[in-house]
């Protein structure tokens, strides 16, 4: 094992495990994803000493990660993968029908499917996360879409904090963005931030190609254009539908931008900010002090070394890391993500008392909402094979829909193009060749957030038990909305005509004629829904809400000097893609923390 540091722009590999040179900082930030990285940088640039702790290694110079179009390779790379396996329900018969179920075979390899070799053990539904400097922003598809304004306004409504209003949150987007696809000074956008944003080349529409024709058929049916600004601050943006340019957090050369690039830039800055990045450092528990009569966070306990967490494919129970403690003068800020942040809180005695007592963890604060309220976007897709290889060269186009529903806001975001995306399993995706075409559907604001993240033991290296409990509430309404979107895309694509059509649909209605019943299609979608936007397990809300874990300033209810700043803080799933909203979350948290620090001083 080895310990790694990043300090003042230098990468240092230490041959033997030793205690950190600096063990006390003003702030400790746990996790380097889109919540933790900007926050740590902002605090350091404000003059505070900051320790940023990351369980993984730095892969920012690896092209699988630095080049956005290699995201499938990044998500499959065991150098960064944390392999979580989840459930979608408590119904074992339903779980057994998930076509991409993952099993561990007798020889230790993975099997994916419904007919495993004898002696295999079912692991569940694969849900990879990224343990690397920069977090999941280093292996995602990079889609940067802001949620409906109503999602921000909802947080303001339940907390009484007008700082969450969409009109105020826009300034954090402007601060973080470095827009590369609009004229300078376009209202509502930023040009000097650390998250470069670009869109798929709208010149697609000038081609004489199959992909151009399919995009044209989409536009004819739903409106819009391939260059339209998907993040425009329009007053009616919650109702705006049709085709848009698909924005990603990458520069015009396809280089991934955001967490890792921001950290490297800050560490290399001649100003030499007091930011210390400790890699291969797994946080196991928050240190709690009771001297003032109330619990208060004063530091963290860690295991230092490589591959310390069970989700790591290279994990070895025999290789125990070196124990250490790191202390904070001001605050501990957890940004470990929607699975690991609640696990860390629970291991520290903050969570549902009965669950903690079951594992002999002393209760610091009985907070019933820790690890509950788990939500995610439902994802499905119309996957088809054209009658001929599809010509043309372009990235996918984005589409917003408002399907027939009582909802006041748009409820579907999709992206359509010549690709295959059917969820996650070891080795995904399946390449169906040059005839493949898909509209991948993301359902916005699911009616049910009934999932949970619960401990299996008090061992900090063991993965928690994760169950999303999909469709537990309002399931038929949500399935109807998803199917309505599928029907819209099916009609648009089938109107392209020969020689592209007829399409041989793979799902949700296999074959050329697509004469399946609504019931059959909804059943397929329900059983095969996938997801990768977990949120809300440490939700913001008022103290009298049993599901609330944080106040509007990200402070853990009833525990001093402790905050959570990541996607787990959202009380509801924000829009269709949480990565850029989480960057904004980090910027708001930075402002809140620095304001509090100024008052205290």
- Does the annotation list 30 as a binding residue? no
The torsion angles phi and psi of 55, rounded to 5 degrees, stand at -75, -25
206 CB burial (10 A radius; 0-12, 13-18, 19+): exposed
Q: How many H helices and E strands in the chain?
A: 13, 26
DSSP letter for 67, please.
B
Q: Write b or e for each residue in 278-299: b if 16 or more Cβ atoms lie within 10 A of its Cβ, otherwise e.
A: bbbbbbbbbbbeeeeeebbbbb
Provide the 10 A C-beta neighbour count for residue 225. Answer: 14
Nearest to 112 by CA among 130, 125, 127: 125
β partners of residue 375: 535
Q: Please enumerate in sequence order all residues whose Cβ is within 8 A of that of 106, keeping only pairs 6 or more positions apart, or say none.
A: 117, 118, 119, 120
Provide the 10 A C-beta neighbour count for residue 203. Answer: 12
H helical segments located in 467-578: 475-494, 518-528
Q: Which residue has the tokens 């004469």?
A: 515
Query: Parallel, antiparallel, or unpaired for β 281-289 and 10-14?
Result: unpaired
Output helix, strand, coil percentages for the chain, rounded to the nearest 5: 25, 25, 50
Cα–Cα dist 441/452, whole Å: 24
Residues annotated as binding site for FAD?
A: 283
Residues annotated as binding site?
A: 283
């Amino acid at each position: 094992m080895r310990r790694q540091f990043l300090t003042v722009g230098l990468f240092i590999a230490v041959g033997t495990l030793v205690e950190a040179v600096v063990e006390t900082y003003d702030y400790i930030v746990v996790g380097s994803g889109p919540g933790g990285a900007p926050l740590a940088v902002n605090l350091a640039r404000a003059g505070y000493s900051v320790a940023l702790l990351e369980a993984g290694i730095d892969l920012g110079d690896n092209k699988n990660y630095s080049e956005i179009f290699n995201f499938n390779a990044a998500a499959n790379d065991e150098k960064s993968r944390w392999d979580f396996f989840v459930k979608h329900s408590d119904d074992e018969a339903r779980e057994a029908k998930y076509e991409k179920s993952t099993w561990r075979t007798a020889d230790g390899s993975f099997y994916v499917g419904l007919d495993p070799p004898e002696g295999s053990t079912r692991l569940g539904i694969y849900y990879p996360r990224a343990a690397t400097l920069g977090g999941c922003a280093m292996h995602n598809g990079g889609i940067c879409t802001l949620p409906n304004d109503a999602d921000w306004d909802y947080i303001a409504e339940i907390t009484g904090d007008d700082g969450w209003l969409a009109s105020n949150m826009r300034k954090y987007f402007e601060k973080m963005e470095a827009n590369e696809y609009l004229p300078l000074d376009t209202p509502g956008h930023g040009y000097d931030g650390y998250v470069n944003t670009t869109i798929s080349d709208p010149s697609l529409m000038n081609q004489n190609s199959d992909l151009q024709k399919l995009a044209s058929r989409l536009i004819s049916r739903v409106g819009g254009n391939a260059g339209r600004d998907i993040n425009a601050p329009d007053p009616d943006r919650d109702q705006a539908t049709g085709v848009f340019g698909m924005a990603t957090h990458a520069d015009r050369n396809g280089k991934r931008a955001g967490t890792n690039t921001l950290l490297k830039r800050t560490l290399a800055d001649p100003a030499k900010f007091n930011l210390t990045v400790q890699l291969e450092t797994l946080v196991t528990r928050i240190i709690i002090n009771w001297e003032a009569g109330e619990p208060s966070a004063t530091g963290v306990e860690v295991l230092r070394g490589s591959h310390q967490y069970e989700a790591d494919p290279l994990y070895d129970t025999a290789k125990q890391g070196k124990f250490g403690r790191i202390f904070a003068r001001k605050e501990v800020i957890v940004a470990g993500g929607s699975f690991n942040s609640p696990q860390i809180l629970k291991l520290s005695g903050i969570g549902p008392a009965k669950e903690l007592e079951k594992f002999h963890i002393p209760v610091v604060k009985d907070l019933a909402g820790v690890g509950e309220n788990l939500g995610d976007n439902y994802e499905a897709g119309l996957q088809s094979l054209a009658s001929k290889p599809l010509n043309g060269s372009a990235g996918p186009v984005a589409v917003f829909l408002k399907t027939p529903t009582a909802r006041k806001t748009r409820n579907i975001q999709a992206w359509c193009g010549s690709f295959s995306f059917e969820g996650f399993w070891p080795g995904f995706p399946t390449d169906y060749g040059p005839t493949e075409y898909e509209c991948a559907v993301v359902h916005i604001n699911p009616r049910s957030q009934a999932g949970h993240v619960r401990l299996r033991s008090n061992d900090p290296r063991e993965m928690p038990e994760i169950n999303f409990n999909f469709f537990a509430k309002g399931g038929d309404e949500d399935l109807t909305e998803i199917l309505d979107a599928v029907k819209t895309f099916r009609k648009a694509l089938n109107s392209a005509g020969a020689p592209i059509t007829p399409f041989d649909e793979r799902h949700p209605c296999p074959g050329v004629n697509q004469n399946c019943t609504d019931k059959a299609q909804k059943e397929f979608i329900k059983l095969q829904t996938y997801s990768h936007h977990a949120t809300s397990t440490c939700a913001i809300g008022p103290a009298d809400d049993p599901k609330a874990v944080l106040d509007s300033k990200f402070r853990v209810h009833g525990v001093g000097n402790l905050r959570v700043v990541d996607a787990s803080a959202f009380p509801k799933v924000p829009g269709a893609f949480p990565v850029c909203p989480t960057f904004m979350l980090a910027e708001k948290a930075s402002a809140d923390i620095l304001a509090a620090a100024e008052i205290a001083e």
